[in-house]
A and B are shown apart, each in its own frame.
Chain A
Amino acid sequence: MKKNNLFKFICLTPVIVYAILLILLPLVYILFLSFCESDSYGGIIYHFTLSNYFTIFDITYVKIFLKSSLIALSSTFLCILISYPFSIFLRDKSEKTRNLMIKLVMVPFLTNSLIRTYGWIVLLRKTGIINSALINLNIIDHPLNLMYNNLGIVIGMTYTLLPFMILPVSSAVFKIDQSLIEAARDLGAGPISIFRKIIVPETISGVFNGSLMVFIPAIGYFFIADILGGGKAMIIGNLIKNQFLTARNWPLGSAISIFLIIVTFGLVQIYKKLGGKLDDLGGM
């Protein structure tokens, strides 16, 4: 083998083997499973059926899809609501301070997200720190129900996924040409019209990037729903988890997963249409 070919071989073989064995094959296999039947003992019957895809449009499942999407949308919206002012206010700082602040946004990631979610129990529960503080300050008489409901899930998702919104939004906001803003100001534009006419159009692909990186995990993070939403709360993530580990109906779980993949690809297509680059999704 020529030396040139040897180098090519060494560079490409691992990544190709990886892409085929650990990405393509698993996805093709669950696509296959989604057309199989399951027996009542958790086994798989290799018999072609479309029934799993009909089952997911059952009203009980549709309700969970809608609720899960609503929770994910609320979390995404809250993340945008926090990230925009945060990035715009940071814009005024020196580049050094800005870089430091953005690094500090990432530091909480160095602890496991389950552990941080557990930290929220201490804060949110009825006898927790927030309720105790509010009662001691005589702001409320009775403890608020901050967790074991949908509010708890939204707080947990917003908290866990916020950095994924802050990173793309702030980098888009920092890139806006200052002279553009100054010109608008000289022509008499107020802060609101500057935001609407300059900041929003210039950052829309960054916001959509962040929204993808928040919305998609927020429909799947079952552990946040488990811990902060209490036993009854279900999002799509719990549904898939239950099909695989509790109900042991792998074909149905696979069909729901394929459905999620299709939704995800649809969202990515919209992102690309808006001028977003795929590489930016992975660049944190």
Chain B
Amino acid sequence: MKNKVFKNIFIAFVFLFLYLPIIILVLYSFNSSKMNIIFEHFTLDWYKNLFDNRELLMAFFNTMLIAITSTVISTVVGVIGAVGLKKYNFPFKNLINNLLYIPIVIPEIVLGISLLSIYTLMKLELGLFTIILSHIAFSIPFVVVSVRSTLNDRLKTYEEAAHDLGASNFKTFFKITLPQIKPGAVSGAILAFTLSLDDVVISYFTAGPGSNTLPLKIYSIIKTGITPDVNALTTLMLLVTIIVLTTTAFIQGRKIMEAAK
């Protein structure tokens, strides 16, 4: 019995460690004191401040735009790429397969500076476009790996059966393959979205001086002096992502329920 209490306390402590900084930020976004030490009384002033702070809002908007665009593109490329790489042979297939592991294993900073170098070489102007391209660059391999885990031999048998019955490649893909690999595609997309929101390092190198994104904005705020607007923004961002994720989980859950009927 005592043993069990100890185990639960340990688990609770790990969660406290993981959530403490976030709880603190959310809590102090409602604090009237500008110093983050004593909680004076409840206020929504920082949220009002935030909505007057166009630069910070713009940064939030850009971050979401980058996350959504890069998730959509890397999911599409990753899903069809994983299917193609499994199904077909072509020259240098091994090379392509090995290249896909590189963004997963090398330090982000190395990917960041190498992308920066190549953009400079190609004379691409750094900005939203290069950030989105870079986020696609580190997301695709995660989608491919995630989808690959759902491509099995049983699926191959189904596809062959569909072919024998006269279905075209495209029809087989949409009617047989896609429904089967959907769990892998969805978790790959969620991973891509999460990685994009979480990223600091790669955005830092590929954003360029003019473009306004959340990590860069917050970086400069932390260096010059902290204002509680940032706490309010964090709270909002957390809220948005939780809504997105619970909606996806809910839709998926309902589909599974329907399928079970």
Point out residues on A near B: beta carbons under 8 Å.
3-4, 6-8, 10-12, 14-16, 18-20, 22-27, 29-30, 33, 82, 85-86, 89-90, 92, 101, 104-123, 127-129, 132, 159, 162-163, 212, 216-217, 219-223, 227, 237, 240-241, 244-245, 250, 253-254, 257, 260-261, 264-265, 268, 278-279, 281-284
B157 to chain A, nearest CB (A): 19
CB atoms of A253 and B238 under 8 A apart: no
Residue of A117, A159, A260, A279 with most chain B CB atoms under a 10 A cut-off = A279
Question: Is the CB–CB distance between B226 and A118 below 8 Å?
Answer: yes
Check B218 against A114 for contact (C-beta < 8 Å): yes
Tell me the nearest residue of chain A to B200, going by C-beta: A114
B234 touching A123 by the CB < 8 A rule?
no
Q: Cβ of B136 and Cβ of A18 under 8 Å apart?
A: yes
17 contacts between A and B (CB under 8 A): A11-B81, A14-B76, A15-B78, A18-B136, A19-B99, A22-B115, A22-B137, A26-B115, A30-B117, A111-B22, A112-B198, A163-B18, A216-B107, A220-B108, A241-B205, A245-B205, A257-B109
Within 8 A of A (CB), among B16-37: 17-22, 24-25, 28, 35-37
Q: Contact at B107–A219, with CB atoms within 8 Å? A: yes
Q: A10-B80, A14-B77, A221-B200 are in contact. List 17 more A-B contacts (CB 8 A).
A: A7-B168, A24-B99, A26-B114, A82-B14, A89-B10, A107-B242, A108-B18, A108-B22, A112-B214, A123-B24, A127-B37, A129-B37, A220-B107, A221-B108, A253-B113, A268-B105, A282-B104
Across the interface, which residues of A come within 8 angstroms of B155, CB to CB? Answer: none
Interface residue B181 (Cβ < 8 Å from any Cβ of A): no
| A260–B107 CB distance below 8 A | yes
A12 touches B88 (CB 8 A): yes
Residues on B with C-beta less than 8 A from A25 are 118
Distance in Å: Cβ of A61 to nearest Cβ of chain B? 16
Cα A14 to Cα B81 in complex, Å, equals: 7
8 A Cβ contacts from B72-113 to A: 76-78, 80-81, 83-85, 87-88, 90, 96, 99-111, 113
Q: What is the interface size of chain B, counting residues whose CB is below 8 A from a CB of the partner?
A: 88
Binds A, one of B40-48, B138-146, B252-260: B138-146
Is the beta-carbon distance between B90 and A12 smaller than 8 angstroms? yes
Min Cβ gap B172→A in Å is 9
Taken together as a complex, chains A and B put the C-alpha atoms of A116 and B77 apart, in Å, by 31
**Nearest 6 pairs of A and B residues by beta carbon:** A119-B21, A11-B84, A15-B81, A26-B114, A220-B107, A7-B169
* A7 partner residues in chain B, CB cutoff 8 A: 168-170, 173
A216, B21: Cβ atoms under 8 Å?
A: no
How many angstroms between the C-alpha atoms of A223 and B198 in the bound complex?
A: 13
A237 to B109, CA, bound (A): 7
A residues less than 8 Å from B242 (CB atoms): 107, 110
Interface contact A29-B114, CB-CB below 8 Å: yes
Q: Please, which residue of chain A has its CB at the minimum distance from the CB of B140?
A: A18
Bound-complex Cα distance A82 to B12 (A): 12
Complex Cα gap A167–B142 (Å): 15
A86 x B10 contact (CB < 8 A): yes
* B245 contacts partner chain A, Cβ-Cβ < 8 Å: yes
Partner pick for B201 among A11, A108, A163, A223, CB 8 A cutoff = A223
Contact of B117 among A29, A89, A105, A260 (CB under 8 A): A29
With A and B bound together, what is the CA distance between A4 and B140 in angstroms? 24
| B142 contact set on A, CB distance < 8 A | 282, 284
Residues of A contacting B105 in the complex (Cβ-Cβ under 8 angstroms): 212, 216, 264-265, 268, 281
What residue in chain A is nearest B6 (Cβ atoms)?
Answer: A89
> Which chain A residues border B108 with CB–CB below 8 Å?
217, 220-221
Of the candidates B18, B77, B197, the one whose C-beta lies within 8 Å of that of A105 is B18
Q: Complex formed: what's the CA distance from A265 to B101 in Å?
A: 11
Query: Given A18-B136, A23-B137, A82-B14 in contact, is the A254-B113 Cβ separation under 8 Å?
Result: yes
B230 at the interface (CB under 8 A from A): yes
What chain A residues lie within 8 Å of B25 (beta carbons)? 115, 118-119, 122
Whole-angstrom distance between the Cβ of A75 and the nearest chain B Cβ: 13
* Residue in B80, B116, B241 whose CB lies within 8 Å of A110: B241
Which residues on the A side are within 8 Å of B200 (C-beta)?
112-114, 221, 223
CB < 8 Å neighbour of B11 from A90, A116, A223 = A90
Is the C-beta of B121 less than 8 angstroms from some C-beta in chain A? Answer: yes
Q: Are A110 and B197 in contact (CB under 8 A)?
A: yes
- Do B197 and A112 touch across chains, with their CB atoms under 8 A apart? yes
B245 near A159 (CB under 8 angstroms)?
Answer: no
With A7-B170, A16-B96, A116-B21: A227-B106 Cβ-Cβ less than 8 Å? no
Compute how far the CA of A13 lies from the CA of B140 in the bound complex, rounded to whole angstroms: 14
